[in-house]
Amino acid sequence: MYFLLAVICAGIALLATTNRFAESKYGFVIGTPEIKSISALTFGPEGILFIGDSKSGVVFAMDTKDAAATQATAIEIKNIDQKMAALLGTTPENITIQDVAVNPVSKTVYCAVQSSDGTPVLFKIAGEKIEAVNTKNVPFSSLTLNNVPAEDAKDRRGTSVRVSAISDIGFADGKVLVSGLSGQEFNSTFRSIPFPFSDKQDQATLEIYHAAHGKYETLAPIKTFTTAEIGGKKYLVASYTCTPLVLFPMDELKPGKHVKGRTVAEMGSGNQPIDIVTVKKGNDSFLMMANSARPVFKVKYKSIEAYQGSLTTPVEESFATAGVDFVSLPVTNVIQMDKLDDSRMILLQRRSNGNLDLWTSSERYL
């Protein structure tokens, strides 16, 4: 009996220590993060969710405690905007789905929603059930992005001058990667922030150039990005507001350094990249890119790798686009996309009948 009690006590003590260890491991404190907006979501290790808050110019790291490894199951929710609106007590035109991210461990889909009054809400989708994610009294840490105007900075009419947006957020090799847009200057900022966040703000702020056609060199903001291994080397694969697909070697992205990226493809006109993910089928890996005015594009990483030799010369033009070949999938109006597992994606798609559905792609798209 005493032995059993001792074992229980030891177990509880061990559990408590483990929790404290996990929290201290990432420098988390228990509290309520002051999230003013959710522009972008991504997952780090052990169910840690990174939230890009454009309105505050802050990245939050939050422990979702959702770290039990689970086999991914296909999700399909029709009219998801109506369902979410009903749960929030409003109508679909009063909500916007800002981003979706799949927890790579639990395979749960997380979804950032903003109501028309600006209130951000975080949902998670387990099977067919939509739940609100608690953001009160949770373990979290935060980091204010550098070069963001102070919150009290006002223009001569007393209007807050900060106009910036976090266009995408990612996690690779222990670093949180953040691409930003500024409403005040036409520029590209890309930050690589070590995690756990440190007081030193040891982060790289990079200005990125891309050479289109080898003739004009311009600056432009990154809209969305991913990281990938091409020919044994790690690259940042970024898509710009003017739709070229550009590669940057990860090892060159160092604090204060100007890196010239290489345009490998142009994806056509009047279009905005929305999300990029990397998926695999057998020995082939593919870059999948959702677009505002085009179908989902599929690019073989092997084509990008083969193209690398000619990157220094101007891009040969074809009728529709330039650069590496890509395939258009018969999937249009995809508003958000993320990777569910190695070979499947979840897509938030506006169907031709106007419905907004969340569904899972099968391997046949690869």
Q: Which two tokens stand for residue 341?
A: 């597992």
- Measured in residues, the chain has a length of 366
Of residues 16 and 219, the one with the C-beta less far from another protein: 219
* Interaction residues for another protein, span 31-70 (CB under 8 A): 36-37, 39, 54-56
Is residue 159 a contact point for another protein (CB under 8 A)?
Answer: yes
* Interaction residues for another protein, span 250-279 (CB under 8 A): 266, 268-272, 274
Distance between CA 246 and CA 263 in Å, rounded? Answer: 4
Distance between CA 75 and CA 125 in Å, rounded? Answer: 9
Is residue 90 a contact point for another protein (CB under 8 A)?
Answer: yes
Of residues 64 and 285, the one with the C-beta less far from another protein: 64
What is the smallest separation between the CB atom of 169 and another protein, expressed in angstroms?
Answer: 12
Q: Which of 183, 254, 284, 306 binds another protein (CB under 8 A)?
A: 183
Q: 225, exposed or middle or buried, with CB in 10 Å at 0-12, 13-18, 19+?
A: buried
* Interaction residues for another protein, span 108-137 (CB under 8 A): 114-119, 121, 132
Q: Which two tokens stand for residue 67?
A: 């770290």
What is the smallest separation between the CB atom of 32 and another protein, expressed in angstroms?
Answer: 13
Residues contacting 95, CB < 8 A, separation 6+: 81, 84, 85, 88, 113, 114, 115, 116
Residue 87 host element (H or E): helix 80-88
Of residues 265 and 277, the one with the C-beta less far from another protein: 265
Residue with tokens 């993910």, as numbered in its chain: 277
* Interaction residues for another protein, span 198-227 (CB under 8 A): 211-220, 223
DSSP 45: G
Is residue 343 a contact point for another protein (CB under 8 A)?
Answer: no
Q: Of 10-18, 78-86, 191-199, 350-358, which part binds another protein (CB under 8 A)?
A: 78-86
Residue with tokens 């994806």, as numbered in its chain: 267
Is residue 78 a contact point for another protein (CB under 8 A)?
Answer: no
DSSP 8: H
